[in-house]
Amino acid sequence: MCGFDLNSCNLVYVMIPLAERMRPKTLDAYIGQKHLLAPGKPLHDLLIQGHIPSLIFWGPPGVGKTTLAHIMARTLNRPFYALSAVQSGVKEVREIIEESRKKNLFSSASPILFIDEIHRFSKSQQDALLMAVELGQITLIGATTENPSFEVISALLSRCQVYVLQPLTAADLLEILHQCITTDTYVISRHVDLKETDALLKASGGDARRLLNAFELALNSSTSSNVEITNACIETLIQNLTTRYDKTGEQHYDLSSALIKSIRGSDPNAAIYYMARMLHGGEDPLFIARRLIILASEDIGNANPNALVLAQSCFNAVHQIGMPEARIILSQCVLYLACAAKSNSAYLAIDAALSECNSSGDLPVPLELRNPVSGLMKQLDYGQNYAYAHNHPDNFYNMEFLPEAIAGTRFYSPGENPKEQDFQSRLKNLWGKKYNY
């Protein structure tokens, strides 16, 4: 391998990835997550007391979930079992639970079972953990990058404390680099001059593993005995600083939510940024276009009826054109929707009407509104007293259209925008007090 100094470094040691060599073994060496581990914070106090409940660590990759589980088991001097949800099933879970049950006969402290990527366990696999967690035969520590509210069954979730681990800050990452440069035998032998760090921090995205992998790549790409790390060096090695984005996971929901809320909030700069994040991460452009159609009615509606027309045209065009050109069409639509006048009156009106349907049931349609398609219906006065609006001045006739039980109920309230204020003025002129908002 390029860059290895076999005279000063043990080959077996260097073959272990730097991120693994730098994995801390004690709480003192652990960097980050001060909101959980600083004195007076939840996990710090639990460890001081020597007792922890079953836990789920939720956070992005590379922020120390697995490492923290190992450190906690070591600090509490507990037996430790580790499973990967990708490689293990119910059989492995039950074997560990049985072994833990036997050990509990001779110990007051339950063993710790750590399950990495617990969100990948099926319902039946998670069910297999319930009784052991409930009886205290094991202390479960699960690690997940996905929202446990969606991915962990409610029965198991209710038996666990959920702790959120945050992406590492720039200060945390720089501290990890300093620790690496001053403590790792191989890195020390390379005489590293860390001149610039912006590119390394950008490449990491708050992930210590990605940070150290990029740093190690720079070391191994240099044949010099004195390695100089610059932004240009890192950018050359890492041509595509990939964005972490799981199209079926938390990032997908977070960014799509941020996009919609930014458009709803009439902030075109934020809206275009979040859409760019989604496209950069590989999101299906048709998914974005579908969301824009919904938003055009839900959040803009009759304040600007053209919004729905444009959103539907955007979807059709994106479907026909595809990426990368579709990004321009999406951009035009997002900016238009963000700048358009807003109204959720259509959304509120249909939900209010549906709520009335749910509470009042199948109220009879007034006879004058029914269609007399048979002689019997005519005899029963179907359609009698119906006034054809176009036969009257202004194409309007004042009559009650709602069922008698809910006559006069208001579902639609025009929004505070010029277009719907025109609606309101017309309705008031036609109906008088009935539509005097």
pTM of structure: 0.60
Tokens of 404: 């008698």
Tell me how crowded residue 370 is: count the other CB atoms within 10 A of its CB. Answer: 16
Rg (CA), the chain: 32
Segment 185-241, tens digit of pLDDT:
889 988 998 899 998 998 888 899 989 989 998 888 888 888 888 888 888 887 654
Q: Above 70 in pLDDT, residue 144?
A: yes
Per-residue pLDDT reduced to its tens digit, 313-367: 999 999 988 888 999 999 999 999 999 999 999 999 999 999 988 888 888 888 8
Cβ–Cβ < 8 Å for 181, 194: yes
Q: Which residue has the tokens 């839900």?
A: 298
User: Can you tell me the distance from the alpha carbon of 198 to that of 41, in angstroms, rounded to the nearest whole number?
Assistant: 31
pLDDT at 250 over 80: no
Reply yes or no on whether the pLDDT at 5 is more than 50.
Answer: no
Q: What's the pLDDT at 248?
A: 55
Q: Please, are residues 419 and 304 in contact by the beta-carbon 8 Å criterion?
A: yes
> Residue 57, SS3?
strand
Task: Confirm if 329 and 314 have CB atoms less than 8 A apart.
Answer: yes
Per the structure block, which two tokens stand in for 289? 């276009």
CB-based contacts of 243, cutoff 8 Å, min separation 6: 205, 277, 280, 281
pLDDT classification of 6: cutoffs 50, 70, 90: very low
**Each residue's pLDDT tens digit, 265-312:** 999 999 999 999 889 888 889 999 999 999 999 999 999 999 999 999
What pLDDT is stored for residue 161 in this prediction? Answer: 92
% of the chain residues with pLDDT over 70: 92
> pLDDT tens across 98-142, in order?
887 776 655 667 889 999 989 888 888 888 888 888 888 889 999
Q: Which domains does the chain have, with CATH numbers?
A: 33-164 (3.40.50.300), 169-237 (1.10.8), 250-339 (1.20.272.10)
Q: For the segment 14-59, what is each residue's pLDDT rounded down to a tens digit?
A: 578 899 999 999 999 999 999 999 998 989 888 888 888 999 999 8
Residue 415 has pLDDT above 90, yes or no: no
